[in-house]
Structure formats: C-alpha cells, structure tokens
Amino acid sequence: MNLRKIVSAAAVGVLSLSLLSACNNTIGAAGNEKVTLHLASNHPEEHPVTPSLREFAQLANEKSGQEVEVKVAANGLLGGERDVIELVKSGTLQMAKVSASALEGFEKSYSIFSLPYVFQSEEHYYNVMENSEAVHDIFTKTKDQGWFAIGWYSGGQRSIYTANTKVESTEDMKGMKIRVQESPTSISMIKAMGGSPTPMAFGEVYTSLQQGIIDGAENNEMGLTSNKHGEVAKAYTYTEHQYVPDVLIMSTEAWEGLTDEQKDVIIESAVESAESHKVRWEKAVIEATKEAEDMGVQFYQIDKQPFIDAAKPLHEQFKAKNEDNARYFDDFQSYVK
Ligand code: GCU
C-alpha cells in the first residue's frame, strides 16, 4: 500500500468517526440550523479549480447569511476520485469535485463528456455546458442513487503528452502506453488512436511516468505544472481530443437536509463561481504553458484530422447503445454554430 492509499484509508477512518457530519446544531441568522458541507478535491492549492471551489464556499457562506459553511479539502486529502464519489454516494461526505470521466463508472451517460471530439470548439463546449437540457438531465438523473451534480468547472482541452518520444501522428501512438482516466470511453479512445491505454488513478501518474510504467498521459496544460507532470514528460502534443469538465457532485442526503433557500444559494454559488472560473482558467492556461516551457516541455501543433477520424466510430457506437445516448448526442450537436 503506498502512502497516498494509507492517507486515504486513514481519512476514511476519520470520516467514519463522523468528523464530516453535515450539521452542527448551531442556529444561523435566519433562524435555521447552520450546516457544514465538506467538499473534496484532488487538485492542489495552485491548480485554478481550487480557488474556484474556495470562491464557491465563500459565496455560499455570504449568500446564506453564514448558515452554510463549505469546507474545501483539496490535494486529494480525502482520497482519489473513485474513493470520494463512493463517500458522497453513501452520504458520508457531502460534496466533491471530480472529473466527469470518473463519473462514467457510476452513471454511464457521463461517458458523453469523454467522447473524443464531441465538442468542436471551446465556444461549443461552453454553449452545451451552460444551456443543454441533456447536461441537466445527466446531472440530475442519479438523485435517487445517493448523489447528483450541481455544477461544473471547465477543465479546458486535454491533449497527449509523453516522456521521451513525441507523438505527431496516429502511427506514433503504436505501442505507446498512455495513461487514461478510469473511464471505458477514454480507454476505447486511446485504442482507436492506435495506442495502448493504461487506466489508473491520477495520483499515480507522476511516478508511473518517472518509472517508465507508462510512456505518456493526457490532460490539460495544468497537468504539467500544478500536477508537476512536466518534470517527467517533455513533449506535449496538441491533439485536443477532449473537453472533460470537472463536476461538482453532492450527496442527495445532504441536499435534502437543506432548506429551499439554502438549495438556491448552493446552485447560485456554483453558477457564479463557474463563471469567474472561466476567466481564471484562461489565464492559468497561458501561465501554465509558459511555466511548462521553462521546465523544458516542448509543445507540438499537429494535423489533428487523423485523430478525429480515428475517434469517429466511437460516436456511432455511443449513439447506438440506447435512446438516451442518441438524444444526448443530438442535443450536444445542436449547439454547434
Ligand atoms: C483533470 C481533472 C481531474 C482528474 C484528472 C485526471 O486534471 O481536473 O479531476 O483527476 O484530470 O486525469 O485524472
């Protein structure tokens, strides 16, 4: 068992001692019980999602007249993404920020967010995320399974990066072990592109790159800097294959314990913090690119068409699986301008 696993096992032990209980019985200004919501995230302090989560917490506190206190536990303190989803689902933890790809293992329709090239541009991505009925449907459909999504933060575009040999074409992908998230769609994506997918938790990627267990990984530019992968992966190829949002999930039990006003506050705070996150993200990408260059990472622009063509059959397979998938896919595409 590695250190991170021991830490997360210890954290789960702490949780069972109910240090993460949602209510503390103090009465707030409006006469309601004060509520404490613990929110887990695997990102470190310097990752742009963390200040956005802290902004969410601050807004929720202000708007509720200090009735709702959100405590952000960043840096994977409460475990990896699968661990914290389980904790939210069981009601042991109230909230978590996780990748939409990780949610695919809990509700299959989340796979649409990992479909390569399902979003054709940043504008298309934002349009869908902010307006689509399909997103709303997916976010709320698991409410009776103990959890659901209340918001999202942009995670930009994901591209492939490698430790030694750079990738410039789908031919270069042959035999390359590329780490993917624990998402069946991402596994199929790397296979379709000619590589050898290796699913693993995010916390294990750095050492796996360093030890040559994998040849590369795929993520946004922040993976290189905030998550330090640029220290061990020096070639970043703009395949721009996915926009996978970070999703804010909440335990249904904790949600049902809120007053209607508090529920509104939570939603409003999620929307407002996601809006300012867009600006924060744009700035962070520019800074991360510069910082990664200083770390010795080289960035490669390529002809993406062969990657797009390789991924295309996955769209048809996704749509053919069931009616909901077909409807979601068409809804996403209706936002292409
Ligand atoms: C992004 C995302 C994380 C996720 C990671 C991954 O960084 O924001 O939530 O864990 O990708 O590749 O696993």
Q: For residue range 268-291, what is the model confidence (pLDDT) as tens digits? A: 999 999 999 999 999 999 999 999
pLDDT tens-digit series, residues 188-205: 999 999 999 999 999 999
Domain 3-155+245-286 grouped into CATH 3.40.190.170: yes
Quick one: DSSP state of residue 4? H
Numbered ranges of CATH 3.40.190.170 in the chain? 3-155+245-286, 157-243+287-333
Q: Whose CA is nearest to atom 2 of ligand 1?
A: 99
CATH architecture of 157-243+287-333: 3-Layer(aba) Sandwich (3.40)
Does position 22 have pLDDT exceeding 70, yes or no? no
Q: What is the percent of the chain where pLDDT is above 90?
A: 90
Which has the closest alpha carbon to 305: 173, 169, 113?
169
Query: What tokens were used for 58?
Result: 């601050």
The H or E element spanning position 261 is helix 260-294
Please report where in the chains the tokens 């399974």 appear, as a residue. 145
pLDDT tier, 32 (very low <50, low <70, confident <90, very high otherwise) = confident
pLDDT tier, 14 (very low <50, low <70, confident <90, very high otherwise) = very low
pLDDT tier, 70 (very low <50, low <70, confident <90, very high otherwise) = very high
Does position 1 have pLDDT exceeding 70, yes or no? no
Task: Say how many C-beta atoms besides its own lie within 10 A of residue 242's C-beta.
Answer: 30
The H or E element spanning position 100 is helix 100-103
Q: What pLDDT is attached to residue 20?
A: 58
Q: What pLDDT is attached to residue 23?
A: 46
96 bridge partner residues: 40, 249
Q: Select the more confidently predicted residue: 17 or 139.
A: 139
Mean pLDDT of the region 27-55: 91
Alpha-carbon distances of 197 from 78, 146, 182, 192, rounded to whole Å: 27, 31, 10, 10
Tell me the pLDDT of the chain averaged across its residues. 93
Report whether residue 219 contacts ligand 1, using a CB cutoff of 6 Å: yes
Distance (Å, whole) CA 157 – CA 26 = 43
* Ligand 1 center from residue 86 Cα (angstroms): 17
pLDDT tier, 95 (very low <50, low <70, confident <90, very high otherwise) = very high
For ligand 1, what atom is nearest to the CA of residue 179?
12
Statement: the pTM of the whole predicted model exceeds 0.85: yes
Q: What is the percent of the chain where pLDDT is above 70?
A: 91
Q: What pLDDT is attached to residue 29?
A: 65
- Specify whether the CB–CB gap between 113 and 106 falls below 8 A: no
* Ligand 1 center from residue 170 Cα (angstroms): 23
Report whether residue 52 contacts ligand 1, using a CB cutoff of 6 Å: no
pLDDT tens-digit series, residues 215-268: 999 999 999 999 999 999 999 999 999 999 999 999 999 999 999 999 999 999
Q: Whose CA is nearest to atom 10 of ligand 1?
A: 202
Q: What pLDDT is attached to residue 200?
A: 96
* Ligand 1 center from residue 272 Cα (angstroms): 22
Q: What pLDDT is attached to residue 221?
A: 98
Q: Select the more confidently predicted residue: 140 or 7.
A: 140
Distance (Å, whole) CA 69 – CA 94 = 12
pLDDT tier, 28 (very low <50, low <70, confident <90, very high otherwise) = low
* Ligand 1 center from residue 145 Cα (angstroms): 23
Q: What pLDDT is attached to residue 31?
A: 73
Report whether residue 99 contacts ligand 1, using a CB cutoff of 6 Å: yes
